[in-house]
Amino acid sequence: MGIATSTGIIRDFAGPYFVSEDDMGFGKPTRYWSLYREDIKSTVWDSAVLDASEEYKNRMHNLCCDNCHSHVAMALNLMQYKGSKSWNMIKLCILILIFGRSVGLKGFLKTYLPAILIYGTLFFMIAYF
C-alpha cells in the first residue's frame, strides 16, 4: 500500500528503513482507492506524506504491526484526512477492500486469483476426500 503526493509520486514503506518512490515493494499497484483532497491544500497533503515517509525511513518493517499500511495511516492522520486522526492499518484494509477499484482485468486477477485457487482447492479436498 502506498500513498501518492499531489504530483502523483507514490510513496511506499517497502522495507526496513526504506520508503520507495514510484517503485512499490510488491510491484505495480493492482487496486487503488482515490482519496479526495477537496478540503486539504496540496502543501499540507505533500507535507504529511513527506513527514510520514521520513518517520518510516527510521523504522524496521514488520509485516504484522508496522508496515506500508501503517505508513499510509500515519500520513492520513498527520493531514487529518476527513477530519480524523484515527486512521490505522485495519481500517485502511477494510476500506480498500470495499471502496478500492482494480486497475483492470490483470489487476483483478493478480489480486483475487491466488485466493480463489487456494480456497477452491481446499473446498474440493474437503468436499471430496
Q: What is the tens place of the pLDDT at every residue in 85-95?
A: 999 999 999 99
First vs last C-alpha separation in the chain: 38
The CA distance from 111 to 88, in Å, is: 22
pTM equals: 0.87
pLDDT at 129: 80
- Sheet containing 10-15: order of strands: 3-4, 10-15, 18-21
Q: Which residues of the chain have pLDDT under 70?
A: none
The CA distance from 112 to 106, in Å, is: 10
> Which residues make Cβ contacts (< 8 Å) with residue 25, sequence separation at least 6?
12, 13, 14, 15, 68
- Cross-strand pairs, 41: none
Q: Using alpha carbons, list the distances in angstroms from residue 58 to 12, 19, 76, 80, 104.
A: 14, 10, 19, 22, 35
Phi, psi for 15 (deg, rounded to 5): 175, 175
* Cell of residue 42, nine digits: 496540496
pLDDT at 37: 81
Report the residue count for the chain: 129
129 by Cβ neighbours in 10 Å (0-12 / 13-18 / 19+) ranks as exposed
